Structure 1
Amino acid sequence: MSDWKSKQIERFRSSNSEDIMYDYFKHLVSLSLITIGGMVTIGQGLFGDALPLRELSWAVGLVGIGGVLAFQGQFEIVRIAGGGEASVWLRFVHRLAPISFGAGIGVFLGSIFIPAL
């Protein structure tokens, strides 16, 4: 088992951090789109009467902002890989995109489950 573990650790240590960051942002963009679709479907279908449109809009907006930030992170990585200068924006996007995504999920779940308490 430790042989497998050491192989995995070595494989990830030797990988390119730009490739990992690009894939991370790519998956966050895809996950944001899928999540927005699920929120709208669940929010307007299953909880259509109980969930205020304002709270659904906040949740969808925050998840959408996370997806847009992740897409901007992808663009920055491609720009840097193409010979552009490094940007401080990439550091902020790396932190703000998952925070916005998580906040949107939290608002959505809170707006569903808190009134039920």
Structure 2
Amino acid sequence: MDSNQFGIFATSTVQIQDAPATGGAIQGVPSIEKITFHLLRLEDGVPLDKKVFHNDFVNLAHNMGVFLYDDLLAIVSLRYQTVHILQIRDSGNLVDVRAIGAFCHEDDELFLNSNAQASDISF
């Protein structure tokens, strides 16, 4: 990826302190209704792509919850305890590579469920 070709900018709505923990969210972590990461071409300011998180919390102060290494962008969701890894393509697209959270590998949930079923059968 050509350096200094793109800029990543974040916008968010106001933070909600006492949001209920639903859908696997951690209790006590604030919520932001909408957090949007915008990918812009710096040459002319044209928006190329965006990634939106709903009812989540990413610490945007001083880029604490966002990390960039080469063409990989890691976004830390504190509310759902998940690291979202995105790739910035030369074409100007943000591509979901992996989400590391409750499960690290794609088949972890399947493995845990099949082991739980096997232990239920053996008793």
Query: Which bracket does the TM-score occupy, shorter chain normalised?
Result: under 0.3
Task: Tell me the TM-score normalised to structure 1 length.
Answer: 0.26
Higher relative contact order structure (alpha carbons within 8 Å, sequence separation ≥ 6): 1
Bigger share in helix: 1
Bigger share in strand: 2
Task: Tell me the TM-score normalised to structure 2 length.
Answer: 0.25
